[in-house]
Amino acid sequence: MLRYIARRIIQFIPVFLGVTLILFVMQNVVPGDPIKLIAGEKKLDPQTEINLRASYHLIETDENGAPIFDEEGNTIETPLWKRYISYITGLLHGDLGRSYQQNGKEVTKILSQKYPYTFKLAVVAIVLESIIGIAAGMVSAIKRYSAWDVGVTLVTSGLVAMPAFWFGMLQQLFWGILMKQWTGGGFYLPISGTGGPYAEFPSWVYYILPALTLAAVSTAYTARIMRSQLLEVLNQDYIRTARAKGLSRRAVIWRHALKNALIPVVTYIGMDFGGMLAGAILTETVFNWPGVGFETYRAISQRDWPIVMGSVTVIVIVVMVINLIVDISYAFLDPRIRFDGSNNE
Amino acid sequence: MSDNTTQPAGEQAVEQAQAKEFSAAPSRTLWGDAFQRLRRNKLAVAGAIWIILMVIIAISADLWVPQTLGNPTQTDSTTMASMSRLPPSLEHPFGTDTLGRDVLCRVIYGARISLAVGVLATAISTLIGLVMGALAAYNGGIWDTIIMRFADIFLAFPYTLFVIAMLAVIGPGIQNVFIAIGVLGWPSIARVFRSAILSVKENDYVDAARAMGASDARIIVRHIFPNSVASIVVYATMNIGGAILTESALSFLGMGVVPPDPSWGIMIQDGQTYLATQPWLMIMPGIAILTTVLAFTLLGDGLRDALDVKMKDA
Amino acid sequence: MFGFGRKKKQATDWVDLKTQPVPEGHHLLEVNDLKMYFHTQDGVVKAVNGVSYTLDRGETLGVVGESGSGKSVTSLTIMGLIDMPPGKIEGGDVLYRGRSLVKMTEEEMEHIRGNDIAMIFQDPMTSLNPVYTIGRQLSEGMILHRGYSKQQALQRSIELLQMVGIPNAEQRVKDYPHEFSGGMRQRVMIAMALACDPDILIADEPTTALDVTIQAQIIELMQKMQEENGNAIIMITHDLGVVADIADKIMVMYAGQPVEFGTAEEIFYEPIHPYTWGLNRSIPDPVIDEKRPLTPIKGNPPSLVNAPAGCAFSPRCPYATDLCRTEQPPTYVTETGHYSRCHYAHDASFVSANAPETSRTKTMLDHAADAVAAAQEGGEA
């Protein structure tokens, strides 16, 4: 078991380095001088510009952070590989650099303000997804070819084929406008334009529609995976064995089929949670949700690269850690993996 | 039937003789059978018909749309104010947008962009994926490790985020959308193709062919490719729908197709402002996305069921 | 069928059928003209078409046939494990201690399964649930049918494992199926089937998926358990050789029909159906002259949807006549109950002219006589 975990963690390292390298290269091939992005329309005097460059580690500095000049009195540009190393070192110390805007606020600080919103939204969404998806898929498999099964198949096909942001807008339209009488007009909708990026959402009801939107596609997939897995498991020989023992159909489903069928479903849901923590850019944009996804989107459109880099880095790490946890819990669920891992057979 | 897994010894000779007959024309039988099964799948047929219809409309648009519905991009400034955001009517079945352009007309031209992005991006990622997958699976060893690690790195990114970041770097525009979706989509195709090759390679008949002295090239062409092409076709079909969805999301965020080109995603974004008063502005292009992606999904599902070798025994 | 967590009510008034005597004029198990058809898109598949036999305690019935001959479907029908639809019982009956299993409700059948009639399956690698320990899977039936506590059931599971010859049973009971070898798993399956001391053990190709060396051990184990418990065995196999030494009666099935039924002796020494001859000829026999050619039966089993108009075996039968191809053969029954579905089964000269020489032996004496006969035949050839 320990060896299995260790192996997974070792596999994680090259992927992590590769990912950060790609991000770093992306940032540094972007056309445009960061200082111009920072300054915007303003004209900077040369000394301020040099200080800025030094503070963003774009030029070589001495131990005190003062810029180093060459013989001709020019600053020395820090080579890319040095910047990558200092970026990685910073990363390991929890330092993600500073924003080009927002008065050079630290990226870590910005993200730590945004993450609670994304996290809470993801939790609500994953709960909805698990309950609705698993239940729908189970009933669908057990009552195969029934009206319910056909309905679930149609609805899931539709949800999968729908852009999530459009689905979110349809919900705003339905609950906020068509059902105005019932919802009281000012329904707890973070409708775009009304909340604004720094709106507070004190009540849980604000989470319903964004969470439904965020969960829609994955719920459809969960239901489909659950259905097909359960159907496949119910065809297995050991189900016949259990029936031959005299167990009722219901007991067979609950005691024998469910655990086997749930293993891949749990894996999917776990991975999906990672995806949701990645910040649902589209959902958060449609609902003006003040989470990481929306922040990333804003940063990209304003070319605030340290924020983009920082949030993508954090997101990728979160996703990879979640996947690692899912892999490990998979081993706990399935005894076959558990033993393969420890005995290395 | 329930006891089909084993064969009496005496029967095997006959089976083998028949298998020989069978393998004389494997492709015709496989694809012929698959076509028959596909034809019986009403949902898949509906999907295929819808796709064909969309393609015909999109290709022929220049011949009849401007004459009847007007220009999809340009607007006449003299009539703009009076034509702005008209509700659906006989003259404008889907209504008009803020600039007085016919929404149906823009939806039809949007289909061109969506289908083009779907097919081209899928073609790019399939091609890269096939080459990478084949290199990894057939050569194995260090090639396999490097390529698959590389794929892992790509797959570690949340896909949408990755495409957005890429477009932020290379800038918006339709060609860049092709490139971003196409280039970043290869790892999943490579994985599918790699495992398809590996599972075929495991088969006894490939061992048999090798034992009989068949060359690698012959094994790939005669045995591995025909047996993995089914999974590629299914995967690519479904991938087109996914690419169309990604394109609409990118355009919605303003990082994809550049206005005034009519992309469905841009139209939805334009319509968002008028959600309360003129909802058709976002509903119509959304339905266009939904039906098109659904058609590709249904066709893909149908193809998977029709081509799946496992299904053949049932 | 489907309820959330509702605990199943145990019918307390249920009396185990196996504790009651077999009613006068009945056998332990009687299968009468059983017909199980599947209604599929391609048409009606007549998977079991008129199967009849009887079985008593302590007896072993061998059911022999090729893939798709309906031998497995017959026993799954008896167990009530065929999904209906697509399956449908089109006629016939199954009587267990005089009670019709076909007419029983699903709940009543749940009392029968595992308790009165138990079953083991072909592939021990896939017949055990991978995510539960062996002990848990063994206990399940005993908790259900005997009302054992978990502790009692576990204790009994260990005994059962020892009985079927699994070493270190106290430890092994906590292991998962994948930690056992194929042969060991089939032993576990046998232990599981015998856990509630059933009247009838149905074994569906129990040795097919196993190594040859293990096969004999498993058969031997089943025989030993039968001697101790006195249960009846239905042994389903495609290999006439497997049942040769253990079956009292043999039913040969072809295309959903029993084509010949008789005692093991009759099937081996006096077979009266050409299909049985074919099966006999295709058994490799170490005793008889090595030069004797093995003769496979040519062709494939017929489609069960569009069965041939006449005798189902006629397309592959070397002796088929126009009569065979146009008319279904009647059942020809001898005085001993040995029956055959062949137009020419009553024709002694036809039978003696075409039936194969056989070397299968019950006693050393027969063995010797056969060896001599075989040697002579070999010499003549």
Which residues in chain B have Cβ-Cβ distances shorter than 8 Å to C302?
none
Tell me, yes or no, if C118 comes closer than 8 A to chain A by beta carbon.
Answer: yes
SS (H, E, C) chain A: CHHHHHHHHHHHHHHHHHHHHHHHHHHHHCCCCHHHHHHCCCCCCHHHHHHHHHHCCCECECCCCCECECCCCCECECCHHHHHHHHHHHHHCCCCCECCCHHHCEHHHHHHHHHHHHHHHHHHHHHHHHHHHHHHHHHHHHCCCCHHHHHHHHHHHHHHCCCHHHHHHHHHHHHHHHCHHHHCCCCCCCCCCCCCCCCCCCCHHHHHHHHHHHHHHHHHHHHHHHHHHHHHHHCCHHHHHHHHCCCCHHHHHHHHHHHHHHHHHHHHHHHHHHHHHCCCHHHHHHCCCCCHHHHHHHHHHCCCHHHHHHHHHHHHHHHHHHHHHHHHHHHHHCHHHHHHHHHCC
Strand order from edge to edge, sheet including C117-120: C117-120, C200-204, C232-237, C60-64, C249-254, C257-263, C339-340, C332-333
Task: Kindly state whether residues A304 and A209 are assigned to the same domain.
Answer: yes
- Range name among A326-330, B71-75, B287-291, C60-64 with the lowest pLDDT average: B71-75
Size of interface A-C (CB pairs under 8 A): 90
The residue type of A134 is: I
Residue A344 has what pLDDT? 34
Considering only residues A7 and C261, tell me which one the structure prediction assigns the higher pLDDT: C261
Q: Is residue A5 part of a domain?
A: no
Residue A39 has what pLDDT? 65
* Residue C32 neighbours by CB under 8 Å, 6+ apart: C52, C92, C93, C94, C95
Q: Is residue A192 part of a domain?
A: yes
SS (H, E, C) B177-233: HHHHHHHHCHHHHHHHHHHHHHHHHHCHHHHHHHHCCCCHHHHHHHHHHHHHHHHHH
Q: Is residue A181 part of a domain?
A: yes
Subunits with 3+ C-beta pairs closer than 8 A to C? A, B
Instruction: Work out the pLDDT band at B169, boundaries 50, 70, 90.
Output: confident
Tell me, yes or no, if B33 comes closer than 8 A to chain C by beta carbon.
Answer: no
Considering only residues B90 and B39, tell me which one the structure prediction assigns the higher pLDDT: B39
Considering only residues A202 and C344, tell me which one the structure prediction assigns the higher pLDDT: C344
Q: Is residue A67 part of a domain?
A: yes
Rounded alpha-carbon distances, angstroms, from residue B297 to A166, B108, B177, B214, C274:
18, 20, 21, 38, 54
Quick one: closest CA in C to B17, which residue? C299
Quick one: closest CA in C to B314, which residue? C40
Which residues in chain B have Cβ-Cβ distances shorter than 8 Å to C299?
14
Residue A104 gets the label, from left (phi > 0), alpha (psi -120 to 50) or beta, of left
Which residues in chain A have Cβ-Cβ distances shorter than 8 Å to B241?
161
Task: Kindly state whether residues A113 and A221 are assigned to the same domain.
Answer: yes
CA contacts within 13 A on the Cβ side of C319: 16
- Whether residues C297 and B10 touch (CB distance < 8 A) is answered with yes
Report the pLDDT averaged over residues A246-252. Answer: 87
Q: Is residue B79 part of a domain?
A: no
Tell me, yes or no, if C282 comes closer than 8 A to chain B by beta carbon.
Answer: yes
CA of B57, closest CA in chain C: separation in Å? 37
Which residues in chain C have Cβ-Cβ distances shorter than 8 Å to A235?
none
Q: Is residue B10 part of a domain?
A: no
Task: Kindly state whether residues A76 and A113 are assigned to the same domain.
Answer: no
Q: Say if CB B236 and CB B122 are below 8 A apart.
A: yes
For chain B, the residue count is: 314
Task: Kindly state whether residues A89 and A156 are assigned to the same domain.
Answer: no
- Whether residues C2 and A139 touch (CB distance < 8 A) is answered with yes
Domain total in chain B: 1
Report the pLDDT averaged over residues C281-292. Answer: 60
Report the pLDDT averaged over residues B279-305. Answer: 89
Subunits with 3+ C-beta pairs closer than 8 A to A? B, C
Q: Is residue A283 part of a domain?
A: yes
Q: Is residue A7 part of a domain?
A: no
* Beta bridge pairs of residue C253: C258
- Whether residues A170 and B149 touch (CB distance < 8 A) is answered with no
Residue of C47, C122, C284 with shortest CB distance to B5: C122
Spacing of C-alpha A301 from chain mean position: 19
Q: Is residue A23 part of a domain?
A: no
Is the pLDDT at A113 greater than 80, yes or no? yes
Is the pLDDT at B8 greater than 50, yes or no? no
Tell me, yes or no, if B286 comes closer than 8 A to chain A by beta carbon.
Answer: yes
Q: Is residue B73 part of a domain?
A: no
Is the pLDDT at C5 greater than 60, yes or no? no
Distance CA(A182)–CA(A167), nearest Å, equals 21
Which residues in chain C have Cβ-Cβ distances shorter than 8 Å to A256?
129, 132
- Quick: pLDDT tens for A275-287: 887 768 888 888 8
Distance CA(B46)–CA(C40), nearest Å, equals 25
Beta-sheet pairing, C99-100 with C117-120: unpaired
Is the pLDDT at B293 greater than 80, yes or no? yes
Q: Is residue B30 part of a domain?
A: no
Instruction: Work out the pLDDT band at A302, boundaries 50, 70, 90.
Output: confident
The residue type of A130 is: S
Best interface-test mutation with A: which of B169, B283, B299 has the largest number of A CBs within 10 A? B169
Is the pLDDT at B141 greater than 90, yes or no? no
Beta-sheet pairing, C60-64 with C249-254: parallel
Considering only residues A345 and A163, tell me which one the structure prediction assigns the higher pLDDT: A163
Q: Is residue B131 part of a domain?
A: yes
Instruction: Give me the domain span that covers residue B218.
Output: 50-64+100-306
Tell me, yes or no, if A245 comes closer than 8 A to chain C by beta carbon.
Answer: yes
Tell me, yes or no, if A310 comes closer than 8 A to chain B by beta carbon.
Answer: no
Q: Is residue B219 part of a domain?
A: yes
Q: Is residue B107 part of a domain?
A: yes
Is the pLDDT at C2 greater than 70, yes or no? no
Domain total in chain A: 2
Task: Kindly state whether residues A144 and A254 are assigned to the same domain.
Answer: yes
CATH of the domain at B203: 1.10.3720.10
Task: Kindly state whether residues A81 and A151 are assigned to the same domain.
Answer: no
Tell me, yes or no, if A337 comes closer than 8 A to chain C by beta carbon.
Answer: no
Task: Kindly state whether residues A159 and A289 are assigned to the same domain.
Answer: yes
Distance CA(C309)–CA(C324), nearest Å, equals 9
Interface list for A 165-204 with C (CB within 8 A): none
Q: 3-class DSSP state for residue C2? A: coil
Mean pLDDT of chain A: 79
Residue C375 has what pLDDT? 53
Tell me, yes or no, if B294 comes closer than 8 A to chain A by beta carbon.
Answer: yes
Tell me, yes or no, if C67 comes closer than 8 A to chain B by beta carbon.
Answer: yes
Q: Which residue has the tokens 């990728």?
A: A316
Is the pLDDT at B50 greater than 60, yes or no? yes
The residue type of B159 is: Y
Tell me, yes or no, if B77 comes closer than 8 A to chain C by beta carbon.
Answer: no
Task: Kindly state whether residues A87 and A130 are assigned to the same domain.
Answer: no
Task: Kindly state whether residues A50 and A139 are assigned to the same domain.
Answer: no
Task: Kindly state whether residues A224 and A294 are assigned to the same domain.
Answer: yes
Report the pLDDT averaged over residues C174-193. Answer: 87
Residue B1 has what pLDDT? 37
What angle do the packed helices C150-163 and C134-146 form, to 10 degrees? 120
Instruction: Work out the pLDDT band at A220, boundaries 50, 70, 90.
Output: very high
Q: Is residue B4 part of a domain?
A: no
Task: Kindly state whether residues A255 and A126 are assigned to the same domain.
Answer: yes
Considering only residues C53 and C42, tell me which one the structure prediction assigns the higher pLDDT: C53
Report the pLDDT averaged over residues C326-343. Answer: 83
Query: Among the ranges B16-25, B218-227, C241-250, which has the highest mean pLDDT value?
Result: C241-250
- For CA atoms A71, A75, A80, A83, give the dihedral sign: positive
The whole-model pTM stands at 0.78
Residue B18 has what pLDDT? 40
Q: Is residue A277 part of a domain?
A: yes
Report the pLDDT averaged over residues A301-321. Answer: 79
Is the pLDDT at C1 greater than 60, yes or no? no
Report the pLDDT averaged over residues B227-232. Answer: 76
- Whether residues C130 and A334 touch (CB distance < 8 A) is answered with yes
Interface list for A 134-153 with C (CB within 8 A): 139, 142-143
Subunits with 3+ C-beta pairs closer than 8 A to B? A, C
Neighbours of C24 (CB within 10 A): 6
Tell me, yes or no, if C285 comes closer than 8 A to chain B by beta carbon.
Answer: no
Residue C13 has what pLDDT? 66
Instruction: Give me the domain span that covers residue A202.
Output: 108-333
Residue of C205, C284, C304 with shortest CB distance to B6: C205
CA of C282, closest CA in chain B: separation in Å? 6
CATH of the domain at A237: 1.10.3720.10
Query: Among the ranges A22-26, A187-191, B286-290, C282-286, which has the highest mean pLDDT value?
Result: B286-290
Considering only residues A122 and B152, tell me which one the structure prediction assigns the higher pLDDT: A122
Task: Kindly state whether residues A75 and A156 are assigned to the same domain.
Answer: no
- Whether residues C131 and A334 touch (CB distance < 8 A) is answered with yes
